[in-house]
Amino acid sequence: MHDLRHLNSFVAVMECGSFTAAAGARGLTVAAISRAIAQLEADLSVQLFRRTTRQIVATEQGRIFYERVRAALALLDDADDAARSVTQAVGGALRIATPNAFGRHYLLPRLEEFHATYPDVTVELHFDDYAGNIIERGFDLVIQHGTPRDLGFVGRKLMRMPIVLAASPAYLARRGVPRRPEDLYQHECIVVRFGSGRAFHWDLKPIAGSEGEDSGAGGIVRPDGSVHISNSLDANLFAALGNLGIASVDAASALDHFAAGRLKLVLPGFELSDGRNSTTVYLLYQQRKFMPARLRLFIDFITNLAAEAESAAPSLTRFAAT
């Protein structure tokens, strides 16, 4: 049986990327981390890491061992929580990955409520619009835009985050106000790319009862412009504020800027989605027989938070460009 302290040190090195960072995360010395890894390698008779003067890289055996060890440690953690939850206060650490817009404008303003109820739970927030594989990056919970593609994990629909088109008054005064989707091809549109580098399209559908429906217009627009943004939906907002063109932005993130007159709503008679279905936000987490109490309670908290935010979403039509 391997020493649990050595296994936890190994997991820390895998997730932190270096002995030094792992030592800081574990509150140990670099020498102690090095001894733990050396002992594991001796016990297993395999090399877990390739070491150079500049970096360490996990071997194939190391990556396989990591996946099994992390799953085993998660089961031990679950068992510990199950045994303690009846008689002891909820505590421990959670690693949460969240898109920038959701984390900044929905989660952070309400997180104090969770800490007030569960002060012994530490929440580490990782802001990332493309969180990637849960196991490899060590997250307990991932909040993501678009339909989950990670088979084998639980994907739960959280809320709809409306995405709208916006531009600054200065830009619209210079280039004019588009009235129909096809007019966008005469404008600077902020291009967004994720993962593979593919630029996302805008799927514009007329809203029932609006001028967009009366016009019969709609369809897919592939934004084109001199500014391209990779891996950040939230950055679009600042591109629009900088007079760079028309951008697809999260409605809640842009609300204060609409109210202050710094942005105007473009094509208010159309609803917008894109190639990743980014208007829908999902929770993604590992299937566990015994879910840690802290994770279950955080999921309940964020689900209720999202339901309140979705039901209270304001209409933005009064901020439309004219």
**Domains contained in the chain, CATH given:** 1-88 (1.10.10.10), 163-277 (3.40.190.290)
CB atoms within 10 A of CB 86: 7
> Model's pTM, two decimal places?
0.64
- pLDDT tens digits along 115-148: 999 999 999 999 877 655 555 567 889 898 777 6
The tokens describing 174, both together, are 């210079």
> What distance in Å separates the CA atoms of residue 312 and residue 285, rounded to the nearest whole number?
27
Nearest to 298 by CA among 309, 281, 283, 313: 283
Do residues 287 and 142 touch, judged by C-beta distance below 8 A? no
Question: Which pLDDT score is estimated for 94?
Answer: 93
For the residues of 34-63, what is the DSSP string, one character each? HHHHHHHHHHHTS--EEE-SS-EEE-HHHH
> What distance in Å separates the CA atoms of residue 22 and residue 28, rounded to the nearest whole number?
8
Question: Which pLDDT score is estimated for 174?
Answer: 95
Ranges of the chain whose pLDDT falls below 70: 1, 53, 77-89, 130-137, 148-152, 194-197, 209-218, 231, 273-278, 288-290
- According to DSSP, residue 314 is labeled P
> What distance in Å separates the CA atoms of residue 66 and residue 7, rounded to the nearest whole number?
9
